[in-house]
């Protein structure tokens, strides 16, 4: 399993979420990240999820 990083921001750049989680691949990470954002009502905020290799697996400006 790899560790992915999920971050969400306010329009002014303030971090609303900064969490790490484990996933077996990028597709699973995208699903987990989306679920986490939805549960915290942050899905409409700017967010990103990155892999340990620096790949952007989820992004919303």
The string of DSSP letters for 7-29 reads: EEE-TTS-EEEEEEEEESSHHHH
Give how far Cα 14 sits from Cα of 2, 5, 10, 23, 41, Å. 26, 16, 5, 26, 16
Taking only the tens of pLDDT, the chain with its 61 residues reads 999 999 999 999 999 999 999 999 999 999 999 999 999 999 999 999 999 999 999 999 9
- Contact criterion met (CB below 8 Å) for 22 and 51: no
Q: What is the pTM of this model?
A: 0.91
């Amino acid at each position: 399993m790899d560790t992915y990083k999920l971050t969400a921001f306010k329009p002014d750049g303030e971090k609303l979420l900064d969490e790490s989680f484990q996933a077996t691949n990028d597709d699973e990470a995208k699903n987990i990240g989306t679920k986490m954002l939805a549960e915290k009502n942050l899905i409409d905020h700017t967010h990103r999820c990155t892999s340990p290799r620096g790949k952007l697996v989820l992004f919303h400006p």
